[in-house]
Amino acid sequence: MATEDSQDDRRDGSTRDVLLAQLRAELRHVPGIALTTQQASRLFNLPADTCERLIASLAQQGVVEIRPDGRFVTVRFITAG
């Protein structure tokens, strides 16, 4: 069963892809940074719920790891693209 959040993601996939690319680019410049979702939301000027979904996507892709304390960190070198 699809949730409203996943439906929103499908309707605006191009914007989501642009945001993911921007996050990857920013994270590439600060390897090893450990942020909470709330901190990332403020840093990247994104709504908290959007930032949370984007971080979850990056975690599924293996780009970031979410630690038990709720912070996420990069787990591999991020390439452009």
User: CA-to-CA distance for 28 and 80, rounded, in angstroms?
Assistant: 8
Q: What pLDDT, on a 0 to 100 scale, did the predictor assign at position 2?
A: 37
- Give the C-alpha distances (Å, rounded to integers) separating 1 from 5, 6, 7, 17: 12, 10, 10, 23
Tell me: the pLDDT tens digits for 37-77? Answer: 999 999 999 999 999 999 999 999 888 999 999 999 987 65
Domain boundaries, given as residue ranges, for the chain: 4-74
Tell me: the pLDDT tens digits for 11-45? Answer: 578 889 999 999 988 888 888 889 999 999 999 99
pTM of the predicted model as reported, rounded to 2 decimal places: 0.75
Q: What pLDDT, on a 0 to 100 scale, did the predictor assign at position 36?
A: 94
The CATH number for 4-74, chosen from 1.10.10.10, 3.40.718.10, 3.40.50.150, 1.20.200.10, is 1.10.10.10
